Structure 1
Amino acid sequence: MRYCLLMNDWPTAQPLDTTRLHLEPLNVAHAQEMSHVLADTSLYQYIGGAPPTLQLLSERYTRQSLGHSSDGEQGWLNWIVRRQDTAEAIGFIQATLLGSHESLSSEIAWVIGSQHQGNGYATEASNRMVDWLHVQGVSTLIAHIHPKNQASAAVAHKLGLRATETIVDDEICWEASLP
């Protein structure tokens, strides 16, 4: 499948599962529980910013839930990551789709709450998302990672991305081509 740059042509996030995780398409109602997951200031050490207020998160989720940028040039896919055993929200993953019929790429990102880090959740969730993106026609993956963020670099490496020499906003651009 290939998508063009029209708002109604971008794929929409679908529920996805792994052995331990459920990836739930983002909606505005997630803001309340995610404000707690994202409250730890240590999460922003490398990505910048500060924990979002409930109002800010609600506004962000309202925009992101549309599934595309206002000009239609980007598709937005966002999932809340939940543990299968407890249904607890533990973070989020996202993909920003860019491109054309011939070449669809995706900038991917992941954030797992501090108390759940170190369990392989970011890799597991992101790997499932990447598999789904491949089926949607994505041929190139991109991630922007701060050079000191060893945990995210390890996730990117496990997903098959490789660091490039490109630096954007003080972050290393990691890339991979999907078969």
Structure 2
Amino acid sequence: MATEVFATTERLVVRRFEPADVAAFAAYRSEPAVARYQVWSAPVPVADARHLVTEFATAAEQEPGWFQYAVEAGGVLVGDVAICRHDNGMQAELGFTLATAHQGRGYATEAVRSVLDRVFATGVRRVSAECDARNTASARLLERLGFQREGLRREHSWLKGEWTDDLLFGLLAREWRVS
């Protein structure tokens, strides 16, 4: 059975997760630098990764809740982009993760852009995102894509034994420039 491809860019394939992704998914999600600002802790056991990848592989893309897109470069899983659709079908939240070895090449920007193109094409009116205020790389990526910084929640999240500040971002469909 062929893997469902959602988008292709010059360098990437954005597709549905498949069972063969378990090892690579567990590996990059286990990197301390990747997990630093995320809700999970490293390492991610292979059994946990298998469970998650199985859920991702069978999820319905257009349904309310989280949907995870696999991001592949040169035939290798390098990260993922997630969209959480609101029950009303008009709002969504964005998340993204990229393996350390593949950061700094524009892959995350390229992958997120392709997912946003897809999401806004379905009638979503607004996409929001938040990140740890110390995660300057993610904040810059969101700003590059046109997200507006909408707020700062001081000491809002208890994460890995400390209170962290959260930056809030939003992007409206009318502001999105489909590339």
Please classify the TM superposition score into its range, dividing by the shorter chain length.
0.7 to 0.9
Which amino acid letter does the alignment assign opposite residue 36 of structure 1? A
Distance 1:22 1:14, change over 3 A: closer
* Match runs of 1:50-65 below 5 Å: 50-65=42-57
Residue 38 of structure 1: CA displacement? 2.3
Determine if contact 2:5/2:13 at 8 Å carries over to the other structure: no
Determine if contact 1:67/1:75 at 8 Å carries over to the other structure: no
Determine if contact 1:37/1:89 at 8 Å carries over to the other structure: no
Q: Deviations over 1:115-157 (max 9, x none)?
A: 1111111000000000000111111011111101111001111
Quick one: which of 19, 22, 25 aligns to 2:13?
Answer: 22
Quick one: which of 157, 173, 176 aligns to 1:178?
Answer: 173
Comparing 121-130 and 23-32, the one that deviates more: 23-32
- Could you list the structure 1 runs, at least 4 aligned residues long, displaced by more than 4 angstroms after superposition: none
Residue 14 of structure 1: CA displacement? 4.9
Aligned residues: 160
Gapped runs of 5+ residues in structure 1? 1-12
Q: Which has the higher contact order (CA 8 A, sep 6+)?
A: 1
TM-score normalised according to structure 1 size? 0.80
Q: Take 1:152 and 1:137, find their aligned partners in 2: how far apart are those partners?
A: 25
Which amino acid letter does the alignment assign opposite residue 149 of structure 1? N
Which amino acid letter does the alignment assign opposite residue 173 of structure 1? L
Determine if contact 1:164/1:174 at 8 Å carries over to the other structure: yes
Determine if contact 1:22/1:82 at 8 Å carries over to the other structure: yes
Gapped runs of 5+ residues in structure 2? 158-164, 175-179
CA RMSD of aligned residues (A): 2.1
Comparing 37-46 and 16-25, the one that deviates more: 37-46
Q: Deviations over 1:34-55 (max 9, x none)?
A: 1122231111222242231111
Q: Take 2:20 and 2:86, find their aligned partners in 1: how far apart are those partners?
A: 27
User: % of aligned pairs identical?
Assistant: 21
